[in-house]
A and B are shown apart, each in its own frame.
Chain A
Amino acid sequence: AQKITQTQPGMFVQEKEAVTLDCTYDTSDPSYGLFWYKQPSSGEMIFLIYQGSYDQQNATEGRYSLNFQKARKSANLVISASQLGDSAMYFCAMRGGGETSGSRLTFGEGTQLTVNP
């Protein structure tokens, strides 16, 4: 079974500062992918960043970077230079379980990020 844990129900950050959103995962599969999605109040799920279980380097996408610590089973999202538009729910998700499972995404409970001016 796969499990994603996000221990921060809510986070606050000042505009232009960096913020780290925590994510830990549990799986017995050697192969898996880790994703972060952003969900504004309007509801759509927006893909942010991906890290594969065999990737040696931490993923980066613009202002987003993923701090991947495989031994600790953590995949924290770092947002640099926060903007007001970053205020949203952030979900960490893991893809695994093999192809017959559809490579389903298992989501954490999410972290509500609020960026203050």
Chain B
Amino acid sequence: DAMVIQNPRYQVTQFGKPVTLSCSQTLNHNVMYWYQQKSSQAPKLLFHYYDKDFNNEADTPDNFQSRRPNTSFCFLDIRSPGLGDAAMYLCATSRSRQVLSNQPQHFGDGTRLSIL
């Protein structure tokens, strides 16, 4: 059974029209991450939540926001999508932020976002 669930699998939106991607987890993990992966590139961390504590990466555009209303759910909001925001968006969870933990980040299947 999927433990990190991302909906929808594919999302198409119009240039400039706000869009929300969702992620839910059944692992009860404390940490949730959002990564952006453009075609043929490595995933890049946008931000993460440690419980309710939001942590933004320094180079994440202001256009990207996130909400975590409870432990299970986390949302990625793109306020005014541009053509350059077309990508795969990956949600991941982790039990802790311990660097030496052998517990991996668990990823969802991703949402492919297309911008028309």
List chain A positions with a Cβ less than 8 A from chain B: 29, 31-33, 35, 37, 42-47, 50, 52-54, 91, 95-105, 107-110
Tell me whether B48 and A102 are in contact (CB under 8 A): yes
Instruction: Give the CA-CA distance A32 to B107 in the complex, in Å.
Output: 20
Tell me whether B97 and A99 are in contact (CB under 8 A): yes
Instruction: Give the CA-CA distance A107 to B112 in the complex, in Å.
Output: 19
Instruction: Give the CA-CA distance A45 to B42 in the complex, in Å.
Output: 11
- Listed residue (A43, A44, A47, A91) with the most chain B CB atoms within 10 angstroms of its CB: A43
Tell me whether B98 and A103 are in contact (CB under 8 A): yes
8 Å CB contact of A110 from B42, B45, B101, B108:
B42
Q: How large is the interface on B (under 10, 10 to 19, 20 to 34, 35 or more residues)?
A: 20 to 34
Main SS of chain A's interface residues?
Answer: loop
8 Å CB contact of A47 from B40, B97, B100, B106:
B106
8 Å CB contact of B99 from A44, A91, A95, A107:
A95
Kindly provide the distance from the CB of A27 to the nearest chain B CB, expressed in whole angstroms: 11
**A50 surroundings in chain B (CB, below 8 A):** 102, 104
- Determine the residue in chain B with the shortest Cβ distance to A107: B42
Instruction: Give the CA-CA distance A99 to B51 in the complex, in Å.
Output: 13
> Could you list 18 further interchain pairs (A-B, Cβ under 8 angstroms) beyond the known A33-B99, A102-B33, A104-B48?
A33-B102, A43-B88, A43-B90, A43-B112, A44-B107, A44-B109, A45-B43, A47-B106, A47-B107, A50-B104, A99-B97, A99-B98, A102-B31, A102-B48, A103-B97, A103-B101, A105-B45, A109-B42
Main SS of chain B's interface residues?
Answer: loop
Q: Is B14 an interface residue (CB 8 A)?
A: no
Instruction: Give the CA-CA distance A97 to B98 in the complex, in Å.
Output: 10
Instruction: Give the CA-CA distance A105 to B44 in the complex, in Å.
Output: 9
Contact with A along B88-116 (1 / 0, CB 8 A): 10101010111111101111111010000
B23-55 contacts to A (CB < 8 Å): 31, 33, 40-45, 48, 50, 55
Given contacts A102-B97, A107-B42, A110-B42, contact A45 B102 (CB under 8 A): no
- Determine the residue in chain A with the shortest Cβ distance to B103: A50
**A43 surroundings in chain B (CB, below 8 A):** 88, 90, 109-110, 112
